[in-house]
Amino acid sequence: MACRWLGSMAALAAAASLGAQEPPPTIRVNVNLVHVVATVKDPAGRLVGTLQKDDFEIRDNGVPQEVAVFARQTDQPLSVALLVDISGSTAKDLKYETDSAARFLRTFLAEGHPEDQVALYSFSYDINRGDFTRNYASLERQLKVLHGDSGTSLYDALFYAAGELENRQGRKAIVVVTDGGDTTSSHDLKQALKQAQLADTVVYPIVVLPITNEAGRNIGGEHALEFMAEGTGGRTFYPDPSTQLDKTFADILAELRTEYMLGFYPHNVPLTKDPFHRLEVRTRSGQLRVSARNGYYGDSVGGGSADSRISVNPGRTTKKR
């Protein structure tokens, strides 16, 4: 009897030992829906707004995914955070910027979805933010009282605006008018980009150049904004503030009105220690160019999910109008 008991215990111990030696699973099945906003252009640069779900392909860390959700963005409300740089370096062009922004907002609210809303942010050292609204008169009044100040907290403004967009429904975009400089932010470019990607918002920088030649310009700041635009599926503009701002705003508005919303449930994605997933979005036609964010923050070893979020604590740098 004792021998049989010892033999059974030995067998159980061996089985437990074998189980303990099994490698952890290397495939993750994530049930959280990942949203991707995309714009598509033909070889001539014209926007394409007539594609269907089956025209798109998505890869998550190189693995093909099934498009589970598809919608043309014109069917959904849009929240826009308009950020205006009022630091001293942009003061001479501020009148052009605010007048053009006012015309953009009037058209945006008059011709868009009935639930579209805008929040106006201005930033120098501090960040002033307004509520999301459809009240054009209120937005116009806010634009008219803007004046130049010292310091430039560009990355803080992007970070906080993305944080406030995060919990809003529908489409989301940040349009930022700036010369690209940053001197007083407590957040850096990487943190601002991560918050924008977590918020599923597209960033459109409008870089107003106080100096036309590269000598003396903040080339690093301009490249940083290009990097942020590419990472979120937007693009960067370099208009002459006195003659080209209206066309720039019109181009952004056209893109916002010709977007696609794609959604997929990550499946068979290799498990890695990096929570950032690389995304590739393209069409089955090799002739079309897709602009979409280049990744998202999802599961990492030890927890998290595709919908994980970071908190926003405005601290000293934001104040409400």
For position 156, which CATH number holds?
A: 3.40.50.410
**Contact yes or no for 119/131 (Cβ under 8 A):** yes
Report which residue type is found at 8. Answer: S
- Give the whole-angstrom CA distance, residue 65 versus residue 63: 6
Match 């089985």 to its residue by tokens: 15
- Give the whole-angstrom CA distance, residue 165 versus residue 115: 15
**Residue 78 main-chain phi, psi, to 5 deg:** -125, 130
Looking at the fold, whether 209 and 103 belong to one and the same domain comes out as yes
Is 230 a residue whose pLDDT tops 80?
Answer: yes
CATH code: domain of residue 40: 2.60.40
Is residue 141 in some structural domain?
yes
Question: CA 237, 204, 51 angle in degrees (round to 5)?
Answer: 100
Report which residue type is found at 166. Answer: E
Q: Report the number of distinct structural domains present in the chain.
A: 2
Enclosing domain of residue 183: 74-258
Looking at the fold, whether 180 and 276 belong to one and the same domain comes out as no
Is residue 168 in some structural domain?
yes
Looking at the fold, whether 235 and 149 belong to one and the same domain comes out as yes
Q: What is the mean pLDDT of the chain?
A: 84
pLDDT 10s digits, 188-205: 999 999 999 999 999 999
Looking at the fold, whether 143 and 65 belong to one and the same domain comes out as no
Is 249 a residue whose pLDDT tops 70?
Answer: yes
pLDDT category at 74 given cuts 50, 70, 90 is low
Looking at the fold, whether 183 and 229 belong to one and the same domain comes out as yes
- pLDDT mean over 248-275: 91
Percentage of residues of the chain with pLDDT beyond 90? 64
- pLDDT of 112 reads 84
Match 């001293």 to its residue by tokens: 88
Is residue 280 in some structural domain?
yes
- pLDDT of 299 reads 54
- pLDDT of 88 reads 80
Task: Give SS3 for 143.
Answer: helix
- Give the whole-angstrom CA distance, residue 122 versus residue 120: 7
Task: Give SS3 for 155.
Answer: helix
Is residue 5 in some structural domain?
no
**Contact yes or no for 149/181 (Cβ under 8 A):** no
Looking at the fold, whether 193 and 225 belong to one and the same domain comes out as yes
Is residue 22 in some structural domain?
no
Looking at the fold, whether 126 and 250 belong to one and the same domain comes out as yes
Three-state helix/strand/coil letters over 227-268: HHHHHHCCCCECCCCCCCHHHHHHHHHHHHCCCEEEEECCEE
Looking at the fold, whether 217 and 275 belong to one and the same domain comes out as no
Looking at the fold, whether 89 and 60 belong to one and the same domain comes out as no
**Greater model confidence, 169 or 299:** 169
The structure's pTM equals 0.81
pLDDT 10s digits, 11-56: 444 444 444 444 444 444 445 899 999 999 999 999 999 999 999 9
Q: Which of 258, 273, 288 is a domain's end point? A: 258
Looking at the fold, whether 57 and 177 belong to one and the same domain comes out as no
Looking at the fold, whether 179 and 200 belong to one and the same domain comes out as yes
Is residue 6 in some structural domain?
no
Is residue 108 in some structural domain?
yes
Looking at the fold, whether 81 and 92 belong to one and the same domain comes out as yes
Is residue 9 in some structural domain?
no
pLDDT 10s digits, 88-131: 877 788 999 999 999 999 999 998 889 999 999 999 999 999 99
Residues in CB range of 24: below 8 A, 6 or more apart: 271
